[in-house]
Structures are given as structure tokens and as C-alpha cells.
Amino acid sequence: MNGSFNGGDLRKALFLAAGFFLVMAFSNVSYFLPVYYSRLGYSPEAAGLLVASFYISSLIIRPFMGGVLQFLGFRRLLVLAGIISVVSSVGVAAAGESFWAAFLSRAALGVGSSFFQIGLATYQAIAFDESIRGRAYSLIMAGSLLPVMTLLPLADWLLYRQLDFYYICLPIITAALAMLLMPFIPGLWSAHLEGGRRKNPLAGLGECFRLPLFPLAFFSMFLFCLSDAASAFMAAMTSHYGLMASFFLSSNALIGVCVRLFCGRLLDRFPRWILSMPMIMITAGTLFLASINPSQTSLIALGLIFGIGMGFGFPLHLALMSDGVPLKLQPQAMSLTWFLMGLDFAVVPLLMGWLGSQIGPVDTFRLICGLTLAGSCLSGVLWFRKMRN
């Protein structure tokens, strides 16, 4: 699975990494929105709805995005993404104490963000040969982690300093920069999709599941995203022990970026289906261990191990979802990929809330991780049987 990764591929990957950095900033800086909205006088329930509206609209729109992309093409889709994202970011900042204005603006920002994500993810799937996707995706997805290490501390500092206006302007700045960057990504503006326009935006989704390897890749991606979503709710578990989740999350982000920057070529040296199960087991296993009498030291150490699994696992599974998919179905494959991410991030908080009230947050966290571990073993058996035949 070795291929030539030349200077043109590197330039393209770096520009796409910058694009994902700016686009992922939309959702990353919203982690602190409950603090911002509480200062405006919103109740915790209202603030939760405003934060969730972004993810709800993203989840609803993503299955349609493959057909929308084929209808509009890259250029028009990404111009529309930029306009929606900038206007809705301004709307969020200007809404103030108007709940519905804030709700609709946040929902529109989720749509604009999804337009960007599916457009960029589909382009990277057709821009790189299958033999170099692993290292290309690793480098690109390093950009998606960088907001956690850069913009999140800045957002936290701005709110700490009571500079709320500058905090709420961060999405406006990143949206505008993302829109300005798109024409400069090599080959993006002139890229064309096979298959032509589809009248039904959902057309092609069923075709993906008739491909030989796609259903298994879909199942593996679901499991991996489940462990990713569980990590976002570490605080509910660590607070039970009087510890801060940032010990785990910060070390994870640091090692994850390093792995993606310097070790991505390993994903092209081995069949990706072989690496899938170990990466899921590493991420789910470290989360499970982190829930057993953790300490500050153990959280940092387990966060580093988790970062290895996350650093390799995310680009690995993105590439796995593209492998073996014909070019005409790549938009649908990427729509389903990002839909899965949104679905897992919707399912986990529901489970943490409902089951957490029944059996406690720690046991709920362990149950999610345990089920993911069991699922990873099943996926490994299914992959082995499939490839053996």
C-alpha cells in the first residue's frame, strides 16, 4: 500500500488542514457557550438548547449533503457554506437575550459548518490516491485537532477576563477566514464529481451499503466515533472522583497532533482494516481504565495512550470509509461518515443523562466503553472473515 507522496500532495494536504482547522473552530469554541449564555441571563436548560441546536441541525442535514454537493458542485457549495457561516455567526453574536434569534442562528451555523465539512471531506477523498490516503488524512486531521490546543485556551482566557464580546466574535473571524481560504486550496475550485446531478438528495446512500466492504467500514466507524464521543463526556465521570478531565484531554490532544503530523505514513504501510480493531480497543480501553479509581497521574498517562489511538484512528477510519468506494459515490460515503459522528455525539449524552440517573455517571461511562470494546472484537472477527473470503 505504499505510494508516492509528492510536494503537490503535501501542499494540498496542508491547505486542507488549514481549512479543517478553521471549520472545526466553529464547534470547538462553542464548548464555552454555556458560560457566555449564563452571563446573558439564560437558564442552564435554555443554554443547553442553544448549544445543541448546532449539532441537531448538523445531524439532520448531513444525510442529504452528498446529493446537495453533486447538485451544486464544490464551488457553489463552499461559497454558500461561507455565506451561511459568516451571516449566522454574526446572528449568534447579535442575538443577545433573544432566545429564538440565537437558536436559529446557531442552527444555521450548524448547516454552514456541515456544508464546509462534507465539501472538504469529499474533496480530500477524490484528491488523494488510495495508496497515500493514510498519511494525507493524518496530516489534514492534525489541523482539526489544533483548535483544541489554540483557540480553546484563547476562548477560555477571553471569558475569564470578562471579554465576552471578543469571545463571541471568534466564530465570525474563523468563518470569514474559512470562506477566504477555499479558493486557494489547490484543485478544489476546479474539481468535478462523477455521477452528475441527482434529483433525490438521498440517492446513492443505499448504493454505498451494497459495496462489499462499506457496511463493515460503517460499523467500525460507528464504534470508533462512540469512543470519541464518550471522551467528550469525561468530566461527568472524573468529577465523581474530584478530578479534572483536562488532565486526560490535554495530553490526548498533544500526542494526537504529534502522531498525525509525524507518523501518518504507517497507515499506508499496513491494510487499514487490520488496524481498525486495535485503534478502537485502545481508545475504548483507556477510557474504561480511566474510570477505575483514577488519579491525576493515571489520567495523564492514559490520555497519552488514548491520543495514540485517536491520532491514528480518526484518519484511519476516514480513509477506510473512502477505500473501495467509486468516485461517484464518495459524496454519499462522506455524508454517512459525518452523519455517524453527529449521531454518536447525540447518542452518548442521551445515554449519560438517562442511564446516569439510573445507575450513576461512572457506571454509565463504563457501560458505553465496555460495549464499544465488545463491538471492536466483533468487528475484528467480521473483518477477518470478510477479507479471508
Tell me the average pLDDT across 139-156. 85
Mean pLDDT check: name the lowest of 2-11, 195-204, 258-267.
195-204
DSSP-assigned letters across all residues of 123-156 = HHHHHS-GGGHHHHHHHHHHHHHHHHHTHHHHHH
Q: Could you read off the pLDDT of 122-138 as tens digits, one per residue? A: 999 888 888 888 888 88
Q: d(Cα 230, Cα 189) in Å, to the nearest integer?
A: 37
Quick check: 289 and 184 in contact, CB under 8 A? no
pLDDT grade, residue 204 (50/70/90)? confident
Q: d(Cα 51, Cα 209) in Å, to the nearest integer?
A: 32
The pLDDT assigned to 172 comes to 95
Q: d(Cα 153, Cα 167) in Å, to the nearest integer?
A: 11
Residue type at position 30? S
Closest by CA position to 284, among listed 224, 206, 344: 224
Q: Could you read off the pLDDT of 6-63 as tens digits, one per residue? A: 888 889 999 999 999 999 988 888 878 888 988 999 887 788 788 888 888 998 999 8
Average pLDDT, the chain: 87
Instruction: Let me know the angle formed at the C-alpha of 295 by 262 and 298, rounded to the nearest 5 degrees.
Output: 30
Quick check: 52 and 201 in contact, CB under 8 A? no
On the question of pLDDT at 343 being above 90, the answer is no
State the CB neighbour count (10 A cutoff) for residue 109: 27
pLDDT grade, residue 112 (50/70/90)? very high
The pLDDT assigned to 195 comes to 61
C-alpha distance from residue 366 to each of 152, 232, 234, 385 (Å): 27, 14, 11, 29
Tell me the average pLDDT across 213-223. 93
158's grid cell: 477571553
On the question of pLDDT at 94 being above 70, the answer is yes
pLDDT top residue among 86 and 193: 86
Mean pLDDT check: name the lowest of 76-90, 236-250, 301-315, 372-386.
236-250
The pLDDT assigned to 197 comes to 61
Quick check: 227 and 372 in contact, CB under 8 A? yes
112's grid cell: 454552514
Report the share of the chain in percent with pLDDT over 90.
38
Q: Could you read off the pLDDT of 63-84 as tens digits, one per residue? A: 888 888 988 889 999 999 999 9
Tell me the average pLDDT across 350-376. 84
Q: d(Cα 212, Cα 335) in Å, to the nearest integer?
A: 18
Mean pLDDT check: name the lowest of 299-303, 344-348, 360-364.
344-348
Mean pLDDT check: name the lowest of 66-75, 246-255, 311-320.
246-255
Instruction: Return the sign of the alpha-carbon dihedral for residues 348, 351, 356, 357.
Output: positive
Tell me the average pLDDT across 315-341. 87
The pLDDT assigned to 1 comes to 44
The pLDDT assigned to 359 comes to 82
Q: What is the largest CA-CA distance in the chain?
A: 61
The pLDDT assigned to 133 comes to 83
Q: d(Cα 44, Cα 49) in Å, to the nearest integer?
A: 9
**What contacts 162, CB < 8 A, 6 or more positions away?**
none
The pLDDT assigned to 276 comes to 92
C-alpha distance from residue 382 to each of 49, 72, 105, 185, 286 (Å): 39, 37, 43, 38, 23
